[in-house]
A and B are shown apart, each in its own frame.
Chain A
Amino acid sequence: MPHVLRMIAQRLALGLVTLFVVSIIIFLGTELLPGDFAQQMLGQAATPETVAALRERLGLNDPMLVRYVDWLTDILRGDFGVSLANGQPVADLIGRRLVNTLSLALYAAAISVPLSLALGILAALFRNTLFDRFVNASALTSISFPEFFVAYILIFLFAGAGGMFPSMASLRGDPGLGEYLHRAFLPALTLTLVTTAYMMRMTRAAIINLLASPYIEMARLKGISPMRIILRHALPNALAPIINVIALNLAYLITGVVVVEVVFVYPGLGQLIVDSVTARDMPVVQGVALLFAGAYVLLNLTADVLATLSNPRLMHRR
């Protein structure tokens, strides 16, 4: 076990270093912004005295390194600064929307992960049949579709006049769970369709890769049913790549929500970052980008660790 712990500690340290460098890049965003930050906050009408006072108050006259450390400690305390557009604390803007985005991603993952695993196993079982070809071709097709195309097709099919689901996933009036699942169904379905294909293809490939190995041949010669061979003999060995792909796709879900949220007017982080980029509201963009990047790094880290844990050969390496 100590070997595994050391491995996890190493990966965690690497992840932290990555996050640290990412935070530097995101911090540099404000530095590279043309024009004076204080001037932008106060608008063009501000007198030089008030601008100077604000610069002093925000600590803009300190050296860059000091400002970076200040900025980072503030963020670690949960203080993301103040929005340039409306003067609200960024943490307040993010708070509720973070929950919304996470629940949407979770909703989509809850559908797509079991679905893609089942379809991938079936495609491996019936490989080179019409079913397999159909599944493969639709996977290739759905990878190349832009998210908004899938989203608008779904709206066209399910949300037109007298449709079953709303085309705008507004969360006004604090809906209960059942109502939430109904309102957020189309965005979740869009994300499911976009991610399922890839995960399914990788599941199929991971299993088929193993089917040529001698121990599978042995199992086949023993007369075990194909389904049992795949589930009991092939699947455990294929877990590592499958877990990896699932984690990568969850990471994709985190950023894939941006376009989907805009299509369905869903009040999440994606909507917020797009609005803030248009308004060049740097503190908000920084906060949201940091969250997205953090989640992304964390999920990739989890993928690595889980893939190792699922492989006894890596666990007991000496």
Chain B
Amino acid sequence: MGFLTGVVILAVVVAVALAAGWLFRAMMVAILPAGAGRTLRTAPPAAGFGMLVILLYILVALFAPLIAPFGEREIVGPEFLPWGDTHLLGTDNLGRDMLSRLVYAARNTIGIAFVTTALAFLIGSVLGILAALTGGWLDQLLARAVDVLMAIPALIFALLLLTIVGTSIVNMILVIALIDSTRVFRLARAVSMNIVVMDYMEAARLRGEGTWHLIVREILPNAMAPLVAEFGLRFCFVFLTISALSFLGLGIQPPTADWGAMVRDTATLISFGDVTPLLPAGAIALLTVSVNFVVDWQLHRASGLKE
């Protein structure tokens, strides 16, 4: 009986999500100019739902102080209050308002993950394109170095580096950006390898353009599509890694609100049948699922598959 109810609830949730995605897509098609609208019309409802969720997350992150009823670090009552009127989702292990911290964490966690991914992309794609462009010993050196770095499992490597430099937000951003830039490097190099042999590259070289011009004006625009899709996937990985590290107590440090750390702080409640710890964890999962849905659609579109 419990299992059946679960299946029914799940089916209803999925149906509502798809309907919301469909509605959102219809709305966006109506609002946006014709060109963008036509592309959006091809999006499956799952991708529409993904875009809607991402938009909501961004809005919550931007307007966190307006939405949250209490301060991020403010202790407003006794510990582990149950859900109620003043504190909609109760309080955490130090008596801070759960809902407010969930809202502020959107800002912290997503912001930090975004900065990290952007940094990884900056390092990885510039080096990758440079390697493909210049070739020779620089290319070989970078490619072999990346091969070796990728032979160490990412989480273990991150733990090792964090032991060396100590745990802080800046260190974590640098460490994860460094590790993830190896993956970006691989892709950027592979994509640019096919571009550097093109005729227009030859023409640009003969015109006497500098390396920077070649990278930014000739290669980058043509390598953009796979790199953008990869950005979405990388963001998910980075986001999950940061959450995992924070959950382990090695990432974003208290009192800064963060979803991974919030799961850890409230974890004891779960054995009493309280779902509160699942909320921040679910917030992480919902965002990564949504990004994956959108990326899946983009990859599908880029590959030109009709079926």
Give chain A's interface residues, CB within 8 Å of chain B: 18, 21-22, 25-26, 29, 32-33, 137, 140-141, 143-149, 152-153, 155-156, 159-161, 167, 251, 254-255, 258-259, 262-263, 273-274, 276-278, 280-282, 285-286, 288-289, 292-293, 296-297, 300
Contact = CB atoms under 8 A, between A and B. Distances in A.
B58 interface: no
Contacts of B278: 149, 152-153, 156
A22 B155 contact: no
Contacts of A280: 163, 166
Contacts of B22: none
Contacts of B270: 152, 155-156, 160, 167
Given A148-B244, A148-B281, A153-B278, 8 more contacts: A141-B289, A145-B289, A167-B270, A251-B153, A274-B248, A282-B164, A289-B152, A293-B151
A146 B243 contact: yes
- Which 3 A-B residue pairs are closest in the complex by CB-CB distance? A144-B288, A149-B281, A255-B153
Contacts of B243: 146
At the interface, is chain B mostly helix, strand, loop or mixed? Answer: helix
Contacts of B260: 146, 148
Nearest to A153: B278
A296 B272 CA distance: 38
A241 B260 CA distance: 34
Interface string B41-69: 00000100000000000000000000000
B247 interface: yes
Contacts of B240: 144, 146
Interface residues of B, number: 46
B247 A259 contact: yes
Contacts of B152: 22, 25, 289, 293, 296
A160 B275 CA distance: 11
Contacts of B263: 148-149, 152
B236 interface: yes
Contact of B277 (A25, A26, A152): A152
B296 A161 contact: no
A32 B164 contact: yes
A223 B11 CA distance: 38
Contacts of B267: 152, 263
A126 B185 CA distance: 38
B281 A152 contact: yes
A277 B163 contact: yes
A274 B159 contact: yes
Nearest to A301: B151
The residue among A22, A277, A297 with the most chain B CB atoms within 10 A of its own CB is: A277
B244 A259 contact: yes
Contact of B272 (A22, A137, A161): A161
A247 B153 CA distance: 14
B71 interface: no
Contact of B163 (A140, A152, A276): A276
Given A141-B289, A259-B244, A254 B153 contact: yes
B53 to A, nearest CB: 12
Q: Which of A145, A155, A254 has the most CB of B within 10 A?
A: A145
B246 to A, nearest CB: 10
Nearest to A269: B156
A25 B161 CA distance: 10
Contacts, number: 137
A293 B149 CA distance: 11
A250 to B, nearest CB: 12
A156 B151 contact: no
B285 A292 contact: no
Contacts of B271: 155, 159-160, 167
Interface string B158-185: 0110111011000000000000000000
A33 B164 contact: yes
Nearest to A24: B148
A161 B273 contact: yes
22 contacts: A18-B148, A22-B148, A22-B151, A140-B293, A140-B296, A144-B240, A146-B243, A146-B244, A146-B260, A146-B285, A148-B244, A160-B271, A161-B273, A258-B244, A259-B244, A259-B248, A273-B156, A273-B159, A277-B163, A278-B167, A293-B156, A296-B152
Given A156-B275, A276-B163, A278-B249, A140 B285 contact: no
B250 interface: yes
A207 B13 CA distance: 32
Given A160-B271, A274-B159, A147 B244 contact: yes
B281 to A, nearest CB: 4
A255 B156 contact: yes
A153 B292 CA distance: 21
Contacts of A297: 151
B215 to A, nearest CB: 29
A146 B281 contact: yes
Given A22-B148, A149-B281, A156-B278, A140 B289 contact: yes
